[in-house]
Amino acid sequence: MRLVVVGNGMVGQRLIEALAARDTDGRWSVTVLAEEHRRAYDRVRLSAYFEGATAEDLTLAPAGVPSGTDIRLGEPVLAVDRAARVVRTAAGSYPYDALVLATGSFPFVPPAPGRDARGCFVYRTLDDLEALREYANGRSDGIVVGGGLLGLEAANALRLLGLRTSVVEFAPHLMPMQLDPAGGAMLRRRIEELDIAVHTGTGVTAIATDGDRLRVDTAGELALEADLVVFAAGVRPRDDLARTAGLAVAERGGILVDSSLRTNDPAVFAIGECAAVEGRCYGLVAPGYAMADVVVDRLLGGAAAFGGADTSTKLKLLGVDVASFGRTAGALDVVYADPANGLYAKLALTDDAGTLLGGILVGDATAYGALRAAVGGPVPGKLADFLSAGAPDVALPGHAQVCSCNNVTKDAVLAAIGDGCGDVPAVKACTRAGTTCGSCVPLLKSLLAEAGVAQSTALCEHFAYTRQELFDLVRVRGIRTFSALVAGYGTGRGCDICKPTVASILASLGNGHILDGEQAALQDTNDHFLANIQRDGTYSVVPRIPGGEITPERLIVIGEVARDFGLYTKITGGQRIDLLGARVEQLPDIWRRLVAAGFESGHAYGKALRTVKSCVGSTWCRYGVQDSVGLAVALELRYRGLRAPHKIKSAVSGCARECAEARSKDFGIIATEQGWNLYLGGNGGFRPRHADLFLSDVDTDTLVRTVDRFLMYYIRTADRLQRTAAWIEGLDGGLDHLRAVIVDDRLGLCADLDAAMARHVAAHTDEWRDVLEDPVKLRRFVSFVNAPSTPDPSISVGRERGQPVPLRLPAVRR
């Protein structure tokens, strides 16, 4: 029999794969007619395209096609002749015994005059994204129309393209389909912290062209200006083919189908976003997959029915966890809000608080898996445990749905593990869990651990090694490039996890300047320009001031540079001076003056040693017992430029009064009458931790030698982005193990660690001085490649407390 499938999107691809797996007798020959020129790809992860993913990375289609299947790309269907049971395209006619319409949806564009002006885009296909990326090159401002899931994904895409971004949402709050007003407000707060302007409760009324710019008028009488506009205000079912064929459609659009996914023509099915099941359209991939499975069962003589689908969602938008599940309002709502940390949680309960109906999580969604599985029953633990940050350790019942996209339960995952699936990729291949949006992957890892399966420690999918193992490979084999490492010991072309990690390893081993050759392309964003990018697109300049000690002459130079380049000046808690507001093309000129005055890079942009803070010590303080400033200066100069898995901070206090706050640092030193006390593994940040006492009353030589070994052992063995505190906590034996390695030398590593630090000290050169002496490296410091002398016109500066500060362009233009 002949099956024709119209559409090769995610749901259409799921149908042909499921049919190929189940139709073992070869009853059906399948023809797929696709409008796009690409095989099916992952629209859920579409924004990963702007994070370095390629079209090949996003594909859902295997290299070949199932036996008995003919896939015709770039051949859209023009008409369906139901009487003759024939589908017609420009290239020919295709008879069918059964027809499946999987035509998906099209982007909704508000009917505003000017919506088709040059610079206006939709956000739906890879072709759309390619056109958007090309047009955005060299431009500075973008507006996204739509503040739902797709709109916030588009806003993130514009940020990744380097554009200042505004979001316009017609509803009173962001993500109105998933969040309540309070949850939407918390999400807005978090997004605005990223310098994305949010305008809610207003719609676009007109778009006008003003030279190369666009003016967007809104119902709220705001007029926003930008270089481009992206419409991501939702989708509408593509039911035009069905309408012209005389098939019934729902009142609000969509091809009307019953629970078997049949239309009013028994030979025609509809699945995915184009289908209106009993009048309801579903805009998520999980219901579409469930529909595809139902149709496959029906084609093979079964009686499966579509009974609705879980519309729960969990995702990370602009770095913010957002989740909703079940009903978001009940007879009794229990709410937790923590604006200081950007957290919001709401659980919807029955009036007796005995049954969980659903909920919302913003900022921390770690409790999502346990809560979603508990919908319809009691909360599995104390309410307070689920409302605050983090999630309690709760065992999920076997029927709990682990992957909502593919309707995979905990029992199904455990069965796959029992059949020999020993890691996440194997579980994915066996069950499909985690293959769509990926939000359930952490839960898959937990279930593997629950089943007693040792977890892979691979850095990422491209390397089956830990960071420590890669470090040793690079060191022992003398590997000097990422391409050589991936060719010899990895697969693929790398990702945003392994590339910066390998860049850090190469830098830690003294592999030349970080902007040399291939190594430049591996760096994190800030390392590309040896400066931290700020919210307005300018950069920071942070010269190193070892130990916080500075001469009046050098202090005057910093003041003159700040004055002459109009920079904001701030003395930091680490005893440095931040100069903020430098345009990218100004950075070389600023650093020429600073280098001439003897300053070096302070590495505020890198995963490296930042500062060694100090008090004034015995030189000035009547309580001081040792020269804390002298030691701090010596240590900062010794370890400057030392690249590591994460940033490193230190401090030296001249007495037990601890004015330098040494115990909050990765390594902290406190003077005693007999010498120095060394503390290891402290850090500030989101989870502050005091360092632990490691050595007492040691002399300076012993102290420095121990710190050398501590840092080198950390650099060699820590995971990517792991602070020293977490690293020590993860060592088997903690501080005792560390003491055995770097003091007692039980592993015989100390001589090697000492030699490695000696090589670092001997090889140090200042990164900015090297840039200034290299015309090739200097070429990257421009705002626009095609107009290198042109400053970024989007950067505007105001005055506050006598200093320059970022100034947003006024939103209203009359």
Q: Between the CA of residue 265 and those of 78, 258, 724, 795, what are the distances in Å?
A: 19, 11, 66, 60
Instruction: Give the strand pairing for 676-680 and 667-671.
Output: antiparallel
Query: What percent of the chain lies above the pLDDT cut of 90?
Result: 57
Q: Roughly what angle, to the nearest 10 degrees, separates helices 149-160 and 126-136?
A: 40
Q: Which residues contact 107 (CB under 8 A, 6 or more apart)?
A: 122, 123, 124, 231, 232, 233, 234, 235, 236
Predicted pLDDT at 812: 38
Per-residue pLDDT of 663-685, as tens digits, reads: 999 999 999 999 999 999 998 76
Q: Which alpha helices (DSSP H) does 92-208 contain, by range?
A: 126-136, 149-160, 181-192
Model confidence band, residue 393 (pLDDT cutoffs 50, 70, 90): low
Predicted pLDDT at 813: 37
Residue of 91, 96, 78, 103 lying closest to 29 (CA atoms): 96
Query: Residue 178 in contact with residue 360, Cβ under 8 Å?
Result: yes
Rounded to an integer, the average pLDDT of 769-785 is 85
CA distance 579 to 540: 6
How many residues does the structure list for the chain? 814
Kindly report, as residue ranges, where domains of CATH 3.30.413.10 are found in the chain.
Answer: 602-763
Diameter of the chain measured on Cα atoms: 101
Q: Is the pLDDT of residue 608 over 90?
A: yes
The annotation places the binding site for [4Fe-4S] cluster at 615, 621, 655, 659
Q: Is the pLDDT of residue 257 over 80?
A: yes
Residue of 799, 664, 779, 771 lying closest to 723 (CA atoms): 664
Instruction: Give the strand pairing for 648-653 and 667-671.
Output: parallel
Q: Is the pLDDT of residue 74 over 80?
A: yes
CATH number of 395-456: 1.10.10.1100
CA distance 182 to 485: 48
Rounded to an integer, the average pLDDT of 315-319 is 76
CA distance 53 to 51: 6
Kindly report, as residue ranges, where domains of CATH 3.50.50.60 are found in the chain.
Answer: 2-106+237-299, 109-233
Q: Is the pLDDT of residue 244 over 70?
A: yes
CA distance 429 to 36: 26
Residue of 515, 521, 446 lying closest to 483 (CA atoms): 521
CATH number of 602-763: 3.30.413.10
Rounded to an integer, the average pLDDT of 543-561 is 94
Rounded to an integer, the average pLDDT of 320-339 is 87
Q: Is the pLDDT of residue 435 over 80?
A: no
Bridge partners (DSSP) listed for residue 143 = 166, 229
Q: Which alpha helices (DSSP H) does 597-667 contain, by range?
A: 617-620, 628-639
E strand residue ranges, 82-179: 86-89, 92-95, 98-101, 105-107, 120-122, 141-145, 164-169
Lowest mean pLDDT among 118-132, 155-169, 379-393, 570-584: 379-393
**Residue 547 CA to chain centroid, in angstroms?**
35
**Residue 102 CA to chain centroid, in angstroms?**
31
Model confidence band, residue 811 (pLDDT cutoffs 50, 70, 90): very low
CA distance 431 to 441: 12
Query: Residue 477 in contact with residue 505, Cβ under 8 Å?
Result: no
CATH number of 109-233: 3.50.50.60
Per-residue pLDDT of 703-740, as tens digits, reads: 999 999 999 999 999 988 899 998 998 888 889 999 99
CA contacts within 13 A on the Cβ side of 350: 9
Predicted pLDDT at 669: 97
Model confidence band, residue 299 (pLDDT cutoffs 50, 70, 90): very high
- Helix (H) / strand (E) containing 502: helix 498-508
Q: Which residues contact 509 (CB under 8 A, 6 or more apart)?
A: 471, 474, 475
Most trustworthy range by pLDDT among 239-248, 413-422, 495-504: 239-248
Predicted pLDDT at 789: 67
**Residue 730 CA to chain centroid, in angstroms?**
25
Structure token digits, residue 365: 């969604």
Q: Is the pLDDT of residue 524 over 70?
A: no
Rounded to an integer, the average pLDDT of 31-59 is 86
Structure token digits, residue 105: 């949806």
Sign of CA pseudo-dihedral 620, 624, 626, 627? negative
Q: How many CB atoms lie within 10 A of CB 695?
A: 18
Q: Is the pLDDT of residue 382 over 90?
A: no
Q: Is the pLDDT of residue 380 over 50?
A: yes
Model confidence band, residue 786 (pLDDT cutoffs 50, 70, 90): low
Rounded to an integer, the average pLDDT of 110-130 is 93
Residue of 198, 443, 433, 448 lying closest to 320 (CA atoms): 198
Secondary structure of residue 718 in the 3-state scheme: coil
Q: What is the 3-state secondary structure (H, E, C) of 266-295?
A: CCEEECHHHEEECCEECCCHHHHHHHHHHH
Lowest mean pLDDT among 158-162, 252-256, 269-273, 441-445: 441-445
Q: Is the pLDDT of residue 564 over 60?
A: yes
Between 528 and 146, name the one with better pLDDT.
146
Model confidence band, residue 814 (pLDDT cutoffs 50, 70, 90): very low
Phi first, then psi: what are they for 452, rounded to 5°? Answer: 80, 20
CATH number of 312-394: 3.30.390.30
Model confidence band, residue 394 (pLDDT cutoffs 50, 70, 90): low
Between 116 and 369, name the one with better pLDDT.
116
CA distance 548 to 576: 6
Rounded to an integer, the average pLDDT of 652-663 is 94
Q: Is the pLDDT of residue 785 over 60?
A: no
Predicted pLDDT at 409: 85
Residue of 441, 514, 499 lying closest to 766 (CA atoms): 514
The annotation places the binding site for siroheme at 659
Region label for 65, one of left (φ > 0), alpha (ψ between -120 and 50) or beta (otherwise): beta
The annotation places the binding site at 615, 621, 655, 659
Model confidence band, residue 808 (pLDDT cutoffs 50, 70, 90): low
Predicted pLDDT at 689: 85
Predicted pLDDT at 513: 87
Residue of 363, 369, 364, 393 lying closest to 381 (CA atoms): 393
- Average pLDDT over all residues of the chain: 89
Query: Residue 692 in contact with residue 681, Cβ under 8 Å?
Result: yes
Predicted pLDDT at 391: 55
CATH number of 2-106+237-299: 3.50.50.60
Rounded to an integer, the average pLDDT of 179-204 is 91
Q: Is the pLDDT of residue 131 over 60?
A: yes
Q: How many CB atoms lie within 10 A of CB 672?
A: 14
Q: Is the pLDDT of residue 763 over 80?
A: yes
Q: How many CB atoms lie within 10 A of CB 499?
A: 20
